Amino acid sequence: MAKDSENNTKEESQSVKGGINRRQLLQMGVATGVSAAAAIAVGKAPSAEAAEQGNSVHVGPGELDEYYGFWSGGQSGEVRLLGLPSMRELKRIPVFNRDCTYGHGFTNYTKDLLKGKISGDTHHLHLSYKDGTYDGKYGFVNDKAQARLARIRLDYMECDKIIEIPNCQGTHGIFPSRHKIDGVYCNAEFRIPVDGADPEDPTQYTCLHTCVDAESMEVRWQVKVNGNLDLCATDYQGRYSMACCYNSEGGVILSEMMANDRDWLAVFNLEAIEKDVKAGKGTTTIGDSKVPVIDGTAEGNPYVLYIPVPKSPHGVNVDPTGKYAVCSGKLSPTCTVVELDKVADAFAGKIKPRDCVVAEPEVGVGPLHTAFDDKGNAYTSIFIDSVVTKWNIAKAIKGENPVIQKLDVHYQVGHINASMSETKDADGKWVISLNKFSKDRFLPTGPFHPENEQLIDISGDVMVNRHDGSAHPEPHDALIVKRELIRPNKIWDPADRKFEFERKLAAKHGVNLGKENKIFREGNKVTVFMTSMAPAFGFPRIDAKVGDEVTIVITNIDMVEDLCHGFCLSHHDLNVGIAPQETVSVTFTADQKGLFWYYCPWFCHALHLEMRGRFIVT
């Protein structure tokens, strides 16, 4: 283990001013179960140096950013799209939340995605890969709250699939295959009783690692594990998925979960699992689910290798060379470097699982997540110290002190990521630090504070903070992606698969979708096909009777980029957006007698206010 550097010593003495050193702080947190927030009270004052250099990035008006930022929006349930380095927010992509900007959760298509659920907790967003870098096709994001996985299609920047992971709670870390579009691996964080197990008996609880097919979005298999799973990663060859694994104790209260000095990095042998699942060898099912389940809990089993790492680890990140997986200690001031080429020998029993560990450098108190540049350096977020630690992987392996610099961030950093860090093309330009507490750094906003994002320039020898700005809670995790890899369309293709339902409905009525305005009545079902083109809807008036089930299919036939319309029906809780060449449908019951104006909520034309019509219910 490396000795403290001068940097470390300086950090130490700053903390001592508060009357307590970092290690004591950590131990205090562990011993008494005090929250990190309580530890902050004795933390450091803001660093003037970092503040002065804040907000020195300039991307001129009309100039385009070099990178897309993909942000998971935490408890907001959404995904956000930013431009970097300007940090301009470009779009919020609703996923698990209801949103009337675009009509997510209002249109028939998106109601079918959400199935009546309108809340979620998006932690980890990753993009699909080909040969170790992004292919621009999909984004995948978890919902920790309701154990779901969603897919975002990047050609239109919207959610097109949401699935529930069976027999899991707290789906947390997810990661797709990096060699090609193949699996998306999902970790359950909470152990739960399944298949009639007794909720009173924690020894009967189960935790599962799940593989979802990235194209069909169907669950392929699940593996039963010891402990519970946290963050997820894959290697670059398709050999392994992996999970940091705290609570090896199987505890249900805090003190029980922190008892062991080491928990695990669990590595999943994908070839062995796929082979036995295919052959139906040793698989079972749980409850009503038909998904094959493999048991990876026994010692020395061929599916899961449990590599001991200290202590309640959090975060596992694979470096751009694909050689190393780095776990953070959370309750140990260390990172653990695992050499992935040794894992096969450990599975084969030629070496012990612990022999896969090649370094355990000390990086600071409360390490969480690690990002990488193109020069063999790692950047670890340190929650309790409120710093980003830059350290060198090769030096750590040699047993030298690897710490190069510690930069103050404000305050209590959670995730960090570096530009292209999760790919083989990491470019060493930027690190984003997503800080959980902003405390006194912005105008007061009442008891709920904004969070703070800091963009750090890592292109030189020294890390420099270049942007410091508030963020709507919670910017949970982020990817920084070269813009040329992402090529979204500007106008919908009317033949897209998204419009299947509306196309079928039009065919059933013999309507040329998007070309004709027609109204049909069958019993109490009213179906309206109409166009929207600035500044008018296809019908200035629609009639219905109380109790009718009304379906309105609207096509925005404007061909002009950026010319969006929408459909909002007064007093019916119905508000959707319609992009150029897009068709949406909404179905609702006409349950109130009277006149209700429908109007276009997107400012589309000088006569936008006149873009409306009467819905008359008799």
By CB under 6 A, name the binding residues for ligand RUQ.
Answer: 123-124, 172, 314, 368-369, 414-415, 476-477
Which of residues 247 and 556 has its CB atom nearest to ligand RUQ in the complex? Answer: 247
Residue 611: name its binding partner from ligand CUA, ligand RUQ, none (Cβ under 5 to 8 Å by kind): ligand CUA
Residue 147 CB neighbours (<10 A): 24
Cβ-defined contacts of 4-7 (< 8 Å, 24+): 4/362, 4/401, 5/401, 5/403, 7/403, 7/405, 7/406
| Burial zone of 64 (CB within 10 Å; 0-12 exposed, 13-18 middle, 19+ buried) | exposed
Chosen from ligand RUQ, ligand CUA, none, partner binding at 597 (C-beta under 5 to 8 Å by type): none
Strand segments (E) across 228-376: 228-234, 240-246, 262-269, 293-295, 304-310, 314-318, 324-328, 335-339, 357-359, 367-372
* 608 contact choice in ligand CUA, ligand RUQ, none (CB below 5 to 8 Å, kind-dependent): ligand CUA
Give the whole-angstrom CA distance, residue 616 versus residue 618.
7
534 interface partner picked from ligand RUQ, ligand CUA, none, CB below 5 to 8 A per type = ligand CUA
Q: Are 388 and 455 in contact (CB under 8 A)?
A: no
466/565 with CB nearer ligand CUA = 565
- In one-letter notation, the amino acid at residue 549 is E
d(CA 247, CA 213): 28
Of 172 and 410, nearer to ligand RUQ (C-beta) is: 172
Residue 73 binds which of ligand CUA, ligand RUQ, none (CB < 5-8 A, kind-dependent): none
188 in Cβ contact with 210 (< 8 Å):
yes
For ligand RUQ, give the closer residue by CB, 166 or 366.
366
**In the complex, minimum distance from the CB of residue 604 to ligand CUA, in angstroms, rounded to a whole number:** 3
CB of 486 to ligand RUQ, least distance (A): 22
E-strand spans in 458-600? 464-471, 477-482, 518-522, 525-533, 536-537, 541-544, 549-556, 565-569, 574-578, 583-589, 594-599
State the minimum distance, in angstroms, from the CB of residue 78 to ligand RUQ: 16
Angle at 293 between CA 287 and CA 297, to 5 degrees: 110
Give the nearest distance from C-beta 315 to ligand RUQ in angstroms. 6
Residue with nearest beta carbon to ligand RUQ: 123
d(CA 198, CA 200): 5
Binding at 467: pick from ligand CUA, ligand RUQ, none (beta carbon under 5-8 Å per type): none
Task: Give 25 or 478: the residue with its C-beta nearer to ligand RUQ.
Answer: 478
Minimum CB distance to ligand CUA smaller for 386 or for 556: 556
Distance of CA 464 to the CA centre of its chain: 26
Smaller CB distance to ligand RUQ: residue 137 or 172?
172
First to last CA, the chain: 80
To the nearest whole angstrom, how small is the minimum distance from the Cβ of residue 595 to ligand CUA?
Answer: 20
477 binds, among ligand CUA, ligand RUQ, none (CB under 5 to 8 A by kind): ligand RUQ
Closest CB to ligand CUA among 338 and 600?
600
Residue 603: CB minimum distance to ligand CUA, A: 6
Backbone angles phi, psi at 148, to 5 degrees: -120, 160
Closest CB to ligand CUA among residues 365, 579: 579
Alpha-carbon distance of 309 to 338, in angstroms, equals 9
Instruction: Tell me the closest approach of the beta carbon of residue 452 to ligand RUQ, in angstroms.
Output: 16
141 vs 604 by CB, closer to ligand CUA: 604
Residue 344 near residue 373 (C-beta atoms within 8 A): no
Reduced to 3 states, what is the DSSP secondary structure of residue 552? strand
* Rounded distance between C-alpha atoms, residue 177 and residue 214, angstroms: 9
Q: Residue 99 CB, nearest distance to ligand CUA (Å)?
A: 18
Please choose which of ligand RUQ, ligand CUA, none residue 548 contacts, taking the beta carbon within 5 to 8 angstroms, the exact cut-off set by kind.
none
Residue 604 binds which of ligand CUA, ligand RUQ, none (CB < 5-8 A, kind-dependent): ligand CUA
Binding residues (CB under 6 A) for ligand CUA: these are 534, 565, 600, 602-605, 608, 611
Minimum distance of ligand RUQ from residue 74's CB (angstroms): 8
CB of 531 to ligand CUA, least distance (A): 11
Cα–Cα distance for residue pair 404/461, rounded to 1 Å: 9
From residue 472, give the alpha-carbon distance in Å to each of 76, 79, 369, 456. 9, 12, 21, 19
